[in-house]
Copies of this chain bind each other. A is one copy, B any other.
């Protein structure tokens, strides 16, 4: 397995097809030319690109080149690759589309041609038909990311193609989910999920891996690498149905394969968790990355909405977890501070008294040995929050403190409008408490974390 560092932290970069007009590739050109990364534009006709001297050919650059980014028409790709090999470039990212994904014979042949060219060289290629990579820590990106809102963190993303990765980075960043590295693989003529899983498994800056997968072309190696993983990998496998599989072929010319086989492979691997929705994937990754592991199945639910508390009970049971049976001492402590009509039989439903009684209830619940994790369900409409300017900072600070003291995870599920969500999220993220918008995601995260906990401990 080769070290792929040069894709994420190249000593020098050539952009072949560098663009100074607004089209695909312009942002990446502009970003890299103005970045700390030593970047050389290559252009057939232009002598200068955005104030930087441009070279006619990568071979003309008076410097060693580690990484080349190709943003040229697909028909020009083979020659550019030959030039790069001659130059001694280590890695190439082919962003250009117009290969096997079109289903058109001449473009399928073009892709085969590229494969032949690199067969006997040591050069590594990501793509074609992708947007390459982003490193959120050192801020290297070939993917039209500008690092305005993006937050560096522990979650890495392997995506297949296109802008989708960027859409979820945008979404995740807006709720302060921190990312480590993202890689879009495209048609995978060389580097694929197997290589990247291996690479990220050894990457100290990655704690959780998310993989969007349409199919693998290296079944045996894929199974092997999954069994080698030492950190949680969340996989969203697309093309489950026949209709979906056909759509996969025309997307990236990948064979989606038999879903039952994939499912069986995922299930037999202790670090692999299958998800079915992008939001779920990133929410669960966020919880995995930010919270201590759960060490049992008993969840306490604390809320001001009885109805949502009940929904969460159903969800817990569906997922094989259980509602914590509180110790008598805990019940008495909570009863002392709440009005006697407040219900704590099942979930802790504080009702409107929540604003006054949440802190003491949290203390009692975290302390209870019958509680393995806390689910805090927030459901208050906008107007009282706006009117009375309630702040929940103190509560989230307390959650963080208690979570660390007792080494138990806590997740907040926030219901309501975007305004309310952002209000709560802005308070919670200061203390690293994950806020998600679906009970299901929080409960699934607890379930997966518990499986993970059992698995890593049975290995010891």
- Docked-complex contact A251 and B306, CB < 8 angstroms: yes
User: Within A298-348, which residues are at the interface with B (CB < 8 Å)?
Assistant: 304-311, 313-314, 316-318, 322-323, 340-347
Say how far A428's CB is from chain B's closest CB, in angstroms: 16
What is the bound-complex CA distance between A342 and B107, given in angstroms?
12
Interface bits A234-245 vs B (CB < 8 Å: 1, else 0): 000011111110
Task: Select A246's contact among B346, B415, B422, beta carbons within 8 Å.
Answer: B346
What is the bound-complex CA distance between A248 and B343, given in angstroms?
10
Q: Assess whether A419 is interfacial by the CB under 8 Å rule.
A: yes
- CB nearest to A171 among chain B residues: B417
- CB nearest to A259 among chain B residues: B314
What is the bound-complex CA distance between A305 and B214, given in angstroms?
13
- Docked-complex contact B341 and A97, CB < 8 angstroms: yes
- Docked-complex contact A243 and B322, CB < 8 angstroms: yes
- Docked-complex contact A381 and B163, CB < 8 angstroms: yes
What is the bound-complex CA distance between A107 and B168, given in angstroms?
50
- CB nearest to A159 among chain B residues: B307
Q: Assess whether A394 is interfacial by the CB under 8 Å rule.
A: no
Say how far A146's CB is from chain B's closest CB, in angstroms: 6
The tally of residues in A whose CB lies under 8 Å from a CB in B reads: 91
Chain B residues whose C-beta falls within 8 Å of the C-beta of A307 in the assembled complex = 159-162, 164, 212, 214, 238, 251
Q: Assess whether A252 is interfacial by the CB under 8 Å rule.
A: yes
Say how far A327's CB is from chain B's closest CB, in angstroms: 18
Q: Assess whether A383 is interfacial by the CB under 8 Å rule.
A: yes
- Docked-complex contact A101 and B341, CB < 8 angstroms: yes
Q: Assess whether A104 is interfacial by the CB under 8 Å rule.
A: yes
Q: Assess whether A154 is interfacial by the CB under 8 Å rule.
A: no
Task: Select A167's contact among B102, B169, B416, beta carbons within 8 Å.
Answer: B416
Chain B residues whose C-beta falls within 8 Å of the C-beta of A417 in the assembled complex = 170-171, 173-175
What is the bound-complex CA distance between A374 and B58, given in angstroms?
46
- CB nearest to A148 among chain B residues: B383
- Docked-complex contact B310 and A383, CB < 8 angstroms: no
- Docked-complex contact A313 and B241, CB < 8 angstroms: yes
- Docked-complex contact A418 and B306, CB < 8 angstroms: no
- CB nearest to A414 among chain B residues: B167
- CB nearest to A308 among chain B residues: B164
Say how far A316's CB is from chain B's closest CB, in angstroms: 7
What is the bound-complex CA distance between A148 and B163, given in angstroms?
37
Chain B residues whose C-beta falls within 8 Å of the C-beta of A323 in the assembled complex = 243, 247
Say how far A294's CB is from chain B's closest CB, in angstroms: 18
Chain B residues whose C-beta falls within 8 Å of the C-beta of A306 in the assembled complex = 161-162, 247, 250-252
Q: Assess whether A216 is interfacial by the CB under 8 Å rule.
A: no
Task: Please name 6 pairs of A and B residues whose Cβ atoms are closer than 8 Å in the assembled complex, sorted by A.
Answer: A22-B388, A149-B382, A160-B307, A164-B307, A174-B417, A244-B311
Nearest 6 pairs of A and B residues by beta carbon: A247-B346, A250-B345, A251-B306, A174-B417, A241-B317, A244-B314
